[in-house]
Amino acid sequence: MVSVVVTRSDGVLLLGGVTLGDPADASPRVRDALATADVVATEDTRRLRRLAADLGVEVSGRVVVFREDNEVARTPGLVEDVRSGATVLLITDGGMPSVSDPGYRAVAACLAAGLAVRCLPGPSAVLTALAVSGLPTDRFCFEGFAPRKDGERRTWFAELAAERRTVVFFESPRRLRSLLEAAVAQLGGERRGAVCRELTKTHEEVVRGPLAELSAWAAAHEPRGEITVVLAGASPATPEPEDLAAEVLGLAAGGRRLKDAAREVGDAHGVSTKALYDAALRART
């Protein structure tokens, strides 16, 4: 069993799950952290000020710009702040830090240094989109942002063609139309999905349906804003009766009537009893 040894320090890195759009979704813990943290690392200072004003709190700590293009350079400084005993609150423009947003490197560096890392749970576009998609939620996977280049996108969809779990990923509104066209070409127009736009914001929109309909909708409307796509998992292929004939004959060899064996195997695989019975007779001769 692997354990992480936390060094003696009162400092902590807090990952703050901020709102996706509606300020009322912010938790009391996030409000308190914004007001009391020694350091607030944020992607955009303007959005931070707007969020603080919406929540009625005053940010008293030092503000650090922490975004994708400076994450590597700024991470050591945040680690040193935590090591020195500071409470560092890390937030992004929306949702949970480190989930396709800056934050992972800071978390990994703090843990490697034996420093405390805690999370203030909050909204997540991944789970919000999954919950409202109307697609199965018992098993799912998150793919981050869809590939930008056509060749990489085709390869990606080819890998997802047999994925049985519901798939969630992000996409730029500028590329949504071409992505859905590629999805139809690679996965078929009947595969179901949902396009979730501007989640929890004033103009929130969720469009559900087969990929062919979603592709036509995107072409006609040219949607804008933050986009999360949810894609149904692949349906299991129905086996051919000839592929199951040996299983039917095996049950019959164990004492079952051939028709009863065909019915049992057919019910298990969604195949016609008569088709299985006929296939078993052909295989027997």
pLDDT digit string, tens, across residues 130-169: 999 999 999 999 999 999 999 999 999 999 998 999 999 9
Mean pLDDT to the nearest integer, 156-184: 95
Domain ranges for the chain: 12-123, 126-231, 241-284
Answer with the residue of higher pLDDT: 266 or 84: 84
Helix, strand or coil, per DSSP, at residue 122: coil
Non-local (6+) Cβ contacts of 118 within 8 A are: 12, 13, 14, 15
42 close to 92: Cβ distance less than 8 angstroms: yes
- For residue 1, pLDDT beyond 70: no
pLDDT of residue 2: 44
Of 150, 218, 140, nearest to 185 (Cα)? 150
pLDDT of residue 138: 94
User: Which one-letter amino acid corresponds to residue 169?
Assistant: F
Of 185, 169, 150, 189, nearest to 230 (Cα)? 169
Answer with the residue of higher pLDDT: 275 or 134: 134
Q: 77-81, 223-227, 277-281: which has the minimum mean pLDDT?
A: 277-281
Mean pLDDT to the nearest integer, 121-132: 94
Which listed CATH number (3.40.1010.10, 3.30.70.1140, 3.40.50.1220, 1.10.340.30) goes with 12-123? 3.40.1010.10
DSSP one-letter string for 44-97? -HHHHHHHHHHHT----SEEEE--TTTHHHHHHHHHHHHHTT-EEEE--SSB-T
Which listed CATH number (3.20.20.70, 3.40.50.970, 3.30.950.10, 3.40.630.40) goes with 126-231? 3.30.950.10
Sorting pLDDT into bands at 50, 70 and 90, what band is 235? confident
Helix, strand or coil, per DSSP, at residue 216: helix
Instruction: Compute the distance between CA of residue 221 and CA of residue 153 in angstroms, rounded to an integer.
Output: 23
Please name the residue that has the structure tokens 């139809």.
184
- For residue 194, pLDDT beyond 80: yes
138 close to 164: Cβ distance less than 8 angstroms: no
Instruction: Compute the distance between CA of residue 244 and CA of residue 77 in angstroms, rounded to an integer.
Output: 63
DSSP 229: E
At 70-107, the pLDDT tens digits run 999 999 999 999 999 999 999 999 899 988 889 999 99
Mean pLDDT to the nearest integer, 176-189: 95
Of 198, 207, 146, 199, nearest to 172 (Cα)? 146
Instruction: Compute the distance between CA of residue 114 and CA of residue 96 in angstroms, rounded to an integer.
Output: 22
pLDDT of residue 9: 62
**Pairing verdict, β 192-197 and 205-210:** antiparallel
User: Which one-letter amino acid corresponds to residue 270?
Assistant: G
High-pLDDT (> 90) share of the chain, %: 75
User: Which one-letter amino acid corresponds to residue 96?
Assistant: M
Dihedral of the alpha carbons of 208, 213, 216, 217, in degrees to the nearest 10: -20
232 close to 192: Cβ distance less than 8 angstroms: yes
Mean pLDDT to the nearest integer, 168-191: 95
At 14-37, the pLDDT tens digits run 999 999 989 999 999 999 999 999
At 31-57, the pLDDT tens digits run 999 999 999 999 999 999 999 999 999
